[in-house]
Structure 1
Amino acid sequence: MKKAKLVIICTQNSARSQLAEAFFKKYGDDMLEVHSAGFEPTEVNPYAVQVMKEIGIDISGQHSKGVREFLGKMSFGYVIAVCKKAEGKCPVIFPGARQLLSWPFDDPAAFEGTEEETRQKFRQVRDEIDEKVKEWLQEYRGQQDHLK
């Protein structure tokens, strides 16, 4: 069975979209080809790497990618915007997507606090994304089973 293509979009592709990409690969790699990208890519946030390592997922090899890397080269069945800023651009950039989803999570990289408070904010967002990905994949699997 051919894997559906999914892309997670955020502004910088440094934290939320990287976390979501990792969780989709962990839980849905058997049925989805997963990518992430940003409109203004920077680098993977070190706190994102740290909090994922805490739960046994290594994202140190992931890198920030720009949406231009995919334009005209790949089409996606599913586009998930994990921030409000990127959400409005998705229909224009990915017009053929079967489903455009909006999952606006707080930006942990924008949080201001002590090192431990910042790490805690990243953990909170990590856990929220983890739950949302598992919830969506459960629904997706149900739809795929129904089609069989």
Structure 2
Amino acid sequence: MTPSPVLRDTSAWKAQVWISFSIAACLCGTGLAWLPVTPLEQAFMVMGYVFCLSAVFVLSKFVRDKAARLDETPMWSLVVWSGFGMAVALTGWGLWQMSVAPAYKAYLMVCWLFLISSAFTLAKMLRDAHDVRRAERMPVPERLSAQQ
């Protein structure tokens, strides 16, 4: 039995993912930098966006590890899912409660959702690339048993 070929992402896909994430981050940064609120409210929103971004990467890794059947403790599962839920809920609540024009809230909401979705895609692409590099270093007999 020969090992199946290792599938790589195309450079066009990699470019699209990085460009998408970069645009989302720039749009969020611009919206947060020009946010017409007090510095404390602005800092809350920046922390919320960063909290969401880090929670996305943690959740992505957790889900991928579960798919690979790597066991985690139940408490870690609770921490990961509740951290992501709290990040999204608190940031959403902060957006909802801000006293800014509805158009500004809508802009920040769309940028935030764009950032979250592009971060999930980026996390998957980076993990796929890591898996390809790991598979290429693996001897053929181990690669065959890993595919089963």
Between structure 1 and structure 2, the one with the greater Rg is 2
Q: Write 1 or 2 for the structure with the bigger share of strand.
A: 1
Say which structure, 1 or 2, has more relative contact order (CA 8 Å, 6+ apart).
Answer: 2
More helix by share: 2
